[in-house]
Amino acid sequence: MYVPVSNHYTYIFLDIVTIVGPLFLSFDKKVAYYKYLRKFAISTFFTSLVYIIWDIIFTQQGVWKFNQDYLIGLNIVNLPIEEYGFFTVVPYACIFIYMCLKIYFPKIAIPFNFTWSLITLGSILLGIIYFDKIYTFITFGLIALTLTLMRTFASSFLKKYWSHFFISWVIAIIPMAYVNGVLTSKPVLIYNDLQNMGFRIGTIPFEDFFYNFLYMLWSISIFELLLQKSQFDKK
């Protein structure tokens, strides 16, 4: 995929491309996303912290590695600085998509039981089949565990925002296809296929789509919790 910058600025260019649209549109009067920046920061801080630790461990274990030919060369705890930017701009864009859906399409709905069962049971099945593939097992294992726990202990809470969350994830796949497509086709990020299913959509490992699903699920759940708390406090 074409990137109009010299090689070493490839990843940082992708970070900028990811954030520029949502950042510019954050001042749309109806959505007013800028008013939610504190809640966004809190919800993504904890999720990104877990993901960064996950990223560091997987890099050290050789599950994936970064190609220095496409990086500016600044690393912090074994990760390129661009990767830290990734865990800022991607969640910003994803939650922006979520908020736009909530504001402009408040009544949108999809079958909760069917989609929850499909993702949960599918994740359990893939986790069992590929238990020896660390990226596959961890990703789908955490999805299955998270969805099972939420369905058991916070079902009504999950149902309130499930439709908007799920469709947001589907929509987010479109820009993700470009960003991850560049990352994996150059490649900026090199995967060890011994630690994943070995199935790719284009050049993107199948697990990546659900790696993002889990990230969005965690961060949007915290974001919704903060939204509902603020609404309760106003009463």
DSSP sequence for 103-118: HH-TT----HHHHHHH
Mean per-residue pLDDT over the chain, rounded? 94
pLDDT digits (tens, 9 = 90+) for 11-65: 999 999 999 999 999 998 899 999 999 999 999 999 999 999 999 999 999 999 9
Whether 155 has a pLDDT exceeding 90, the answer reads yes
pLDDT digits (tens, 9 = 90+) for 76-122: 998 999 999 999 999 999 999 999 999 999 999 999 999 999 999 99
Closest CA to 89 of 179, 194, 191: 179
Q: Rg of the Cα trace of the chain?
A: 18
- The pTM of the full predicted model, rounded to 2 decimals, is 0.94
Element (H, E) at 65: strand 64-66
Torsion of CA 29, 34, 38, 43, to 10 degrees: 90
